[in-house]
């Protein structure tokens, strides 16, 4: 046995901070590596030492094997923990660590290699007696032709799922409902897979309708032992990525649990598994399950297993990496209670999960008994376009699923998240939705349930007007605090009453006008011209307003950054933009202009100037945060201008192309009809082209 003395974490964000915490508890010194955008990140400060990896992109930094190994040797590290993502399932990296005399905290390179290619993994599992779905591999451009359609129809049938052979995390996945869309989907999936994993090989497998995604945590040691630590339910997904995970699964009884865990352990033993791993299955409505893949690393959702077993999985990883046998507490693990995790992302579910960037002015999740927060950010952190937009994982553990779900919803609802838009409202609405509460879920849940409607259901309709009034009163208190004289007098006070003061806001595109007037000890107010009844201001400071509105008293916390006002109360949260009294003339944008929805890189321009397009047709494909996003035509018409080319870096709001509106008969401005430029399915939107929901492919 060789104890680990100094551990380099070849990762970033919340998982780097998570590993550092356990290593410190085990008296292992830690070394972080960081890119230029991450120089001020919390995980860098948390480590004992840190080494810069110059650059911003993953290829320059967290995927740069030579630079990471050099950093480990220079810092005196004797082991490397890869976390998840990046190099965690890279067999070449694991072998390079061994060649450099470094312990790789993970399975042997040959196991990673065997499981890293999903098609090879399916072959090995089939040989071990684990149920698998039929598949076809596409490993070169020559096979993407008419013959492929016949092969798929005969071997698999439609609908079919297209998946990256070398990766997961929702990248390179498409659902195709009919032969017409297959070739384009294969090409697009291969492009995205090449960008994410450096390997464009994809494979096709049968699509299972309305499946559940169930995975089993396994652990192996160097002495031939392979154990399981029960299952996790991971069916709530967007864009084939999990956003809610829980353990145990509400769909798994003791008999099914025995079958699933037995198959998972058999899979682990068949490949000589060592370390932490996850065997993923798709569970059909008929109760039959099929192998998806083995993730040869720690999973994002590992905290739910930790909370129901009382085990620290990172500690187990480090013990196994040191050559120790699995401890007895792991071998004798039992399920206790229920744990549920939500992934908090900087993204807008109302806009197709568009990633958001910018500064987190405030990031505070309430400290509640039974709630754990694994975060990669803090107040002042900057969310960049270079990496995955996950901010944190919020996990609740309780004696029952009902209690755990309610506790998690409360923690998310009371969080103060000021800065880029997040998916918090979607998560809260989802956790409170009756079908979810009853455990009636599958991977198509977010297709059956409109994400925008779920997010809206989490918002109290009173939140915007009440918070706008509080924002106006907090601003008034701030002006009095800054006044050089007569600070005790309220803003706008006059011996002779005059017209009320007026301030206009915008909340999610809707204008709100607040008027107020101080009359002696009373405050009178109007919202959009309607008087506020039963109003009493008990206290107002720039950061907090205590007031009664319509007979109900609440305390609203208010924070301001520029013209953005963030308000939080028991009603929920609201972001208000103060509108200037005398707005400056806006720059004129040509009608039909398509603007970049986020910072990113143009990976493809789907049209040329002069082309006719249908409404909704993909015009430019932008890659941001490791995903492709389509910028589509807002109406039928003719492309009059294209301002970007593939490879160009664009900023949010930058013009990309102009589509002139079609004539009243649907024809282009020159009388010619659209030439059939239609969406090519290259951008995952959470559903297949036939309207079906996501299937079994959400991996990670």
pLDDT tens digits, one per residue of 408-466: 999 999 999 999 999 999 999 999 999 999 999 999 999 999 999 999 999 899 999 99
Beta carbons of 445 and 250 less than 8 angstroms apart: no
Task: Output the CA torsion sign for 311, 312, 314, 318.
Answer: negative
Q: Please work out, in degrees rounded to the nearest 5, the angle formed at the alpha carbon of residue 14 by the alpha carbons of 397 and 213.
A: 55
Query: Residue range 162-172: average pLDDT?
Result: 69
Non-local (6+) Cβ contacts of 296 within 8 A are 88, 89, 106, 107, 111, 112, 115, 116, 275, 277
Q: What pLDDT score was predicted for residue 489? A: 58
Integer Cα distance of 612 and 656 in angstroms: 16
Give, as one character, the DSSP assignment of residue 585: P
Q: Please work out, in degrees rounded to the nearest 5, the angle formed at the alpha carbon of residue 603 by the alpha carbons of 601 and 608.
A: 115
- Torsion angle of C-alpha atoms 488, 492, 495, 498, degrees rounded to 10: -160
Q: Six-digit token pair at 455?
A: 């997010």
Q: Please work out, in degrees rounded to the nearest 5, the angle formed at the alpha carbon of residue 309 by the alpha carbons of 303 and 311.
A: 70
Beta carbons of 184 and 618 less than 8 angstroms apart: no
| Residue 700 clears pLDDT 80, i.e. is over it | no
Question: Length of the chain, please?
Answer: 700
Beta carbons of 156 and 200 less than 8 angstroms apart: no
Per-residue pLDDT tens for 610-635? 999 998 899 999 887 667 788 999 88
| Residue 470 clears pLDDT 60, i.e. is over it | yes
Integer Cα distance of 550 and 532 in angstroms: 7
Q: What CA–CA distances, in Å, run from 653 to 314, 357, 608, 610, 650?
A: 42, 13, 21, 23, 9
**Letter string b/e over residues 341-354, b meaning 16 or more CB atoms within 10 A of that residue's CB:** bbbbbbbbbbebbb
Integer Cα distance of 641 and 277 in angstroms: 50
| Residue 469 clears pLDDT 50, i.e. is over it | yes
Q: What pLDDT score was predicted for residue 667? A: 43
The winner for highest mean pLDDT among 129-133, 321-325, 492-496 is 321-325
| Residue 253 clears pLDDT 80, i.e. is over it | yes
The helix or strand, by DSSP H or E, that contains position 404, with its residue range, turns out to be helix 401-413
Q: What pLDDT score was predicted for residue 116? A: 79
pLDDT-derived band at 586, boundaries 50, 70, 90: low
Integer Cα distance of 597 and 241 in angstroms: 21
Q: Six-digit token pair at 68?
A: 């990471």
Least confident interval from 8-22, 121-135, 494-508, 549-563: 494-508
Q: Classify strands 79-81 and 6-9 as parallel, antiparallel or unpaired.
A: parallel
Q: What pLDDT score was predicted for residue 283? A: 96
Least confident interval from 212-226, 350-364, 570-584: 570-584
Beta carbons of 527 and 330 less than 8 angstroms apart: no
Mean of all residue pLDDT scores within the chain: 87
| Residue 155 clears pLDDT 90, i.e. is over it | no
Integer Cα distance of 688 and 175 in angstroms: 5
Q: What pLDDT score was predicted for residue 175? A: 84
Query: Residue range 35-41: average pLDDT?
Result: 96
Check residues 154 and 684 and name the one with the higher pLDDT. Answer: 154
Beta carbons of 151 and 682 less than 8 angstroms apart: no
Residue 582 in 3-state DSSP?
coil
Q: What pLDDT score was predicted for residue 584? A: 61
Q: What pLDDT score was predicted for residue 49? A: 98
Q: What pLDDT score was predicted for residue 404? A: 98
**Letter string b/e over residues 230-252, b meaning 16 or more CB atoms within 10 A of that residue's CB:** bbbbbbbbbbbbbbbbbbbbbbb
| Residue 171 clears pLDDT 70, i.e. is over it | no
Q: Classify strands 135-138 and 202-206 as parallel, antiparallel or unpaired.
A: antiparallel
Domains of the chain: 6-105 (3.40.50.20), 134-206 (3.30.1490.20), 213-237+248-334 (3.30.470.20), 463-578 (3.30.700.30), 593-661 (2.40.50.100)
Q: What pLDDT score was predicted for residue 497? A: 58
Query: Residue range 211-219: average pLDDT?
Result: 97
Q: Six-digit token pair at 502?
A: 């007026």
Q: What pLDDT score was predicted for residue 694? A: 37
Query: Residue range 213-218: average pLDDT?
Result: 98
Q: What pLDDT score was predicted for residue 8? A: 98
pLDDT-derived band at 649, boundaries 50, 70, 90: confident
pLDDT-derived band at 679, boundaries 50, 70, 90: very low
Integer Cα distance of 192 and 630 in angstroms: 13
Percent of the chain residues topping a pLDDT of 70: 88
């Amino acid at each position: 046995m060789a104890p680990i003395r100094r551990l380099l974490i070849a990762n970033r964000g919340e998982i780097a901070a998570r590993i550092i915490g356990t290593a410190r508890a085990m008296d292992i010194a830690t070394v972080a590596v960081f890119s230029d955008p991450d120089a001020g990140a919390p995980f860098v400060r948390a480590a004992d030492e840190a080494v810069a990896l110059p650059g911003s992109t993953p290829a320059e930094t967290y995927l740069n094997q030579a630079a990471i190994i050099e950093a480990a040797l220079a810092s005196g590290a004797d082991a490397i923990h890869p976390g998840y993502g990046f190099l965690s399932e890279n067999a070449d990296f694991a072998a390079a660590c061994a060649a450099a005399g470094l312990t790789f905290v993970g399975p042997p390179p040959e196991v990673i290699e065997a499981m890293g290619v999903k098609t090879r993994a399916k072959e090995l599992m089939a040989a071990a007696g684990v149920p698998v779905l039929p598949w076809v591999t596409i490993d070169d451009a020559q096979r993407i032709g008419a013959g492929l359609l016949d092969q798929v129809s005969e071997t698999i049938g439609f609908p079919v799922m297209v998946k990256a052979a070398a990766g997961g995390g929702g990248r390179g996945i498409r659902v195709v409902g009919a032969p017409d869309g297959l070739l384009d989907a294969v090409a697009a999936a291969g492009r995205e897979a090449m960008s994410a994993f450096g390997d464009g090989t994809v494979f096709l497998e049968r699509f299972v309708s309305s499946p559940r995604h169930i995975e089993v945590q396994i652990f192996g040691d160097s002495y031939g032992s392979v154990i399981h630590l029960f299952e996790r339910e991971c069916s709530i997904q967007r864009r084939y990525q999990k956003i809610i995970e829980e353990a145990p699964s509400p769909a798994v009884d003791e008999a099914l649990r025995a079958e699933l865990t037995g198959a998972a352990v058999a899979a682990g033993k068949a490949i000589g598994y060592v370390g932490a791993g996850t065997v993923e299955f798709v569970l059909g409505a008929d109760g039959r399950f099929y192998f998806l893949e083995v993730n040869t690393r720690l999973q994002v959702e590992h905290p739910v297993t930790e909370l129901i077993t009382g085990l620290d999985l990172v500690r187990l990883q480090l013990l196994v990496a040191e050559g120790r046998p699995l401890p007895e507490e792991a071998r004798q693990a039992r399920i206790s209670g229920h744990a549920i995790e939500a992934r908090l992302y900087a993204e807008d579910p109302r806009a197709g999960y568009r990633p958001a960037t910018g500064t987190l002015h405030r990031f505070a999740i309430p400290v509640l008994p039974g709630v754990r927060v694994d975060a990669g950010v803090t107040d002042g952190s900057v969310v960049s376009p270079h990496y995955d937009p996950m901010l944190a994982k919020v996990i609740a553990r309780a004696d029952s699923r009902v209690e755990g779900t309610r506790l998690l919803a409360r923690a998310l609802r009371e969080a103060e998240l000021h800065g880029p838009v997040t998916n918090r409202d979607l998560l809260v609405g989802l956790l409170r939705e009756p079908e979810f509460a009853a455990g009636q879920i599958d991977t198509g849940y977010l297709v059956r349930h409109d994400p925008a409607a779920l997010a809206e259901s989490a918002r109290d309709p009173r939140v915007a007007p009440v918070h706008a009034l509080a924002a106006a009163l907090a601003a008034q208190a701030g002006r009095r605090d800054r006044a050089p004289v007569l600070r005790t007098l309220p803003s706008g006070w006059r011996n002779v009453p005059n017209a009320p003061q007026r301030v206009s806001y915008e909340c999610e595109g809707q204008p709100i006008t607040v008027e107020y007037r101080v009359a002696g000890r009373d405050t009178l107010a109007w919202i959009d011209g309607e008087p506020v009844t039963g109003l009493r201001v008990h206290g107002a400071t720039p950061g907090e307003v205590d007031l009664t509105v319509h007979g109900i008293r609440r305390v609203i916390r208010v924070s301001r950054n520029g013209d953005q006002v963030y308000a939080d109360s028991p009603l929920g949260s609201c972001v208000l933009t103060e509108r200037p009294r005398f707005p400056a003339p806006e720059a004129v944008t040509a009608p039909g202009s398509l603007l970049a929805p986020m910072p990113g890189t143009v990976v493809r321009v789907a049209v040329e100037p002069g082309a006719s397009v249908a409404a909704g047709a993909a015009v430019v494909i932008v890659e941001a945060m490791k995903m492709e996003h389509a910028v589509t035509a807002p109406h039928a018409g003719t492309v009059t201008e294209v301002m970007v080319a593939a490879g160009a870096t664009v900023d949010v709001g930058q013009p990309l192309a102009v589509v002139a509106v079609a004539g009243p008969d649907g024809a282009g401005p020159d009388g010619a009809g659209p030439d059939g430029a239609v969406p090519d399915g290259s951008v995952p939107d959470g559903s297949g082209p036939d309207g079906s929901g996501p299937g079994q492919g959400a991996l990670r």
